[in-house]
Amino acid sequence: MTIQSQKAKLVLTAFLAAALVLPPTVGAQRMPHSSVKPAKPASGASINGGAQRSPGRGNIDNRGRDVNINIDRNVNVRHNTVVRPGRRPYARPPHVYGGRRFYCHAPYFYHPFRPFRWGPHWHPWGFFLTTLAVTAIVVSVSNQQYHYDQGVYYAPTSGGYTVVPAPVGATIPSLPSGSETVVVDGTTYYYYGGTYYQKTNSYTVVPPTAGAVVEKLPEGGEEVKIGDITYVKVGETYYQPIQKDGKNMYEVVQVEEDKK
């Protein structure tokens, strides 16, 4: 083999080697740029001025807690299913439909249901949080523990806490800010977030009493048409739309089986 042939062979070999090595080398130079992660905002900060998203968990609320705005449909919650009858007899005949009698003192006055939110600390049934505020306390009812914070009751669930209906019999030391006084047949109750309280040494959760009249019903209620009357059903409690002193209100309905 001549010297020129050897040189040509060496040049060809070097060219092929460079062609094989060059693509990985370029790729290796680009990888660090594509894998650079954007700077993480400081805790509680938001890029767009809104709530900061926490991957896989939910949103950061205005108290810096990780929350999930989706309703947890799997949690087993106890609704207040029993309405205590009032002492005052009904002067109006009941609305009879579907084998049941619906008693109400005030005449029916339909107005669209618009759920009410009791401020930033209140959450509807099924709302999920991963952590509770330091102000939360533990309440025990029938050997079951709940957590209470500013008018809202939570039950421990997988990975956090889920808002549940106020368990009847739970006692709290003071009423949440914004609670209202409701008088039924001379007895005073306190109302907040769809929950009724009666005062002893502390404040105890009680079932709604038939004849109680309130202005605000919570998110989670739904309009239910029964015959020619549209009620609002919150849990298992029926409210009849009425008007009192020119204001749209709701009265707790007493429901009985029609024994005819």
| pLDDT, tens only, 70-92 | 444 444 444 445 899 999 999 99
Decide if 38 is inside a domain: no
Region of poorest pLDDT, from 39-48, 130-139, 161-170 = 39-48
pLDDT at 171 over 80: yes
Decide if 7 is inside a domain: no
pLDDT band at 259 (very low <50, low <70, confident <90, very high): confident
Decide if 195 is inside a domain: yes
Q: Based on the structure, what is the number of domains in the chain?
A: 1
Give the per-residue pLDDT at 1: 52
Decide if 223 is inside a domain: yes
Decide if 199 is inside a domain: yes
pLDDT at 173 over 60: yes
Q: Tell me which of 67 and 175 has the higher pLDDT.
A: 175
Decide if 99 is inside a domain: yes
pLDDT band at 10 (very low <50, low <70, confident <90, very high): low
pLDDT band at 13 (very low <50, low <70, confident <90, very high): low
Decide if 58 is inside a domain: no
pLDDT band at 228 (very low <50, low <70, confident <90, very high): very high
Q: What is the mean pLDDT of the chain?
A: 79
Q: Tell me which of 6 and 180 has the higher pLDDT.
A: 180
Decide if 203 is inside a domain: yes
State the residue range of the domain holding 220: 70-257
Mean local confidence (pLDDT), 145-162: 96
pTM across the whole model: 0.71
Q: Tell me which of 102 and 61 has the higher pLDDT.
A: 102
Give the per-residue pLDDT at 129: 96
CA distances 113 to 102, 215, 221, 247, Å, are 19, 11, 8, 13
